[in-house]
């Protein structure tokens, strides 16, 4: 991968478009949550990666399957069914409540009935949606997704699917050590297994700028403080994990290899201290 595949996100007012993309992803996530069969670790709630944007992937619809794609390249929400139907709704900064009602109406027209609670559609104000900023952020997600997929494929142990989580708008997957957590019910599907989380967050309340993260459950003694590649730090305020700011990645001659080195270093530290 070339350095140009990782766009500079340090631009004026891009966060407003990011926040709008997050709200739109939540609407699509509500549809997947309503229609997809439940999975452990809430994997049925997460959106999948497509070239143009996050997608529900095929989920049960009316006499077949339906897929919703948030196309941040062509700026539309696309509905496709296994019966050959295709409908596209433009994204132009409409309020999240409006997009939610439009989504339910379009699904109804396809014979698929999904109800969203009023609090899930809160937000009547128009949103800021700059097409260039949306495409730029999605380019970053796409580049990061390829690196995460490469790293995921290099791990011999069980891993979960690579998912974009609608609530936080972060892209991540879980790695499992294969051992149970002492003191936890072995039948507990959420808390019984030792695990690490590898992901990309485009900015949140705790860390406003985009960053990569690695966390471990349960947190092993000695995990925080292990050596990390240049630019990466250990986060200990509020939560514990390895953090690499996206801006630091752009300073590297080969961002993809540096990101792989970050994930590998943190995974090696977590796996080693989990065994101790």
List per-block mean pLDDT (blocks of 10 residues) for the chain, which spans 276 residues: 89 94 97 96 98 98 95 98 96 96 95 86 90 98 99 97 98 95 87 95 95 93 90 93 97 97 96 75
Q: pTM for this one?
A: 0.95
Q: Which pLDDT belongs to residue 124?
A: 87
Burial 159-185 (b: 16+ CB within 10 A, else e): bbebbbbbeebbbbbbbebeeebeeee
Q: Which pLDDT belongs to residue 254?
A: 96
Q: What is the dihedral of CA 114, 118, 121, 126, to 10 degrees?
A: 140
Q: Which pLDDT belongs to residue 57?
A: 98
Q: Can you tell me the distance from the alpha carbon of 154 to that of 48, in angstroms, rounded to the nearest whole number?
A: 20
| Structure-token pair, residue 164 | 């974009």
């Amino acid at each position: 991968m070339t350095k140009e595949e990782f766009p500079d996100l340090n631009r004026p007012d891009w966060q407003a478009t990011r926040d709008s993309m997050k709200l739109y992803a939540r609407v699509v996530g509500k549809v997947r949550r309503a229609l997809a069969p439940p999975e452990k670790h809430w994997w049925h709630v997460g959106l999948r990666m497509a070239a143009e944007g996050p997608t529900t992937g095929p989920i049960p619809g009316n006499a077949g399957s339906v897929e919703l794609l948030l196309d941040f390249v062509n700026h539309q929400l696309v509905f496709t069914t296994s019966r050959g139907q295709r409908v596209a709704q433009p994204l132009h900064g409409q309020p999240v409540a409006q997009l939610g009602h439009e989504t339910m109406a379009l699904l109804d027209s396809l014979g698929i009935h999904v109800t969203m609670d009023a609090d899930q559609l809160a937000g009547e104000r128009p949103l800021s949606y700059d097409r260039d900023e949306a495409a730029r952020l999605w380019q970053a997600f796409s580049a990061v997704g390829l690196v995460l997929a490469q790293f995921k494929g290099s791990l011999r142990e069980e891993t979960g699917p690579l998912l974009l989580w609608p609530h936080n708008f972060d892209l991540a997957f879980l790695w499992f050590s294969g051992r149970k957590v002492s003191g936890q019910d072995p039948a507990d599907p959420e808390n019984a297994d030792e695990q690490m989380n590898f992901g990309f967050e485009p900015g949140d309340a705790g860390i406003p700028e985009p960053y990569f993260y690695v966390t471990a459950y349960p947190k092993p003694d000695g995990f925080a403080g292990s050596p990390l590649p240049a630019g990466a730090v250990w986060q200990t305020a509020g939560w514990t994990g390895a953090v690499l700011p996206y801006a630091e990645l752009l300073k590297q001659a080969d961002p993809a290899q540096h990101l792989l080195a970050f994930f590998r270093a943190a995974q090696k530290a977590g796996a080693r201290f989990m065994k101790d």
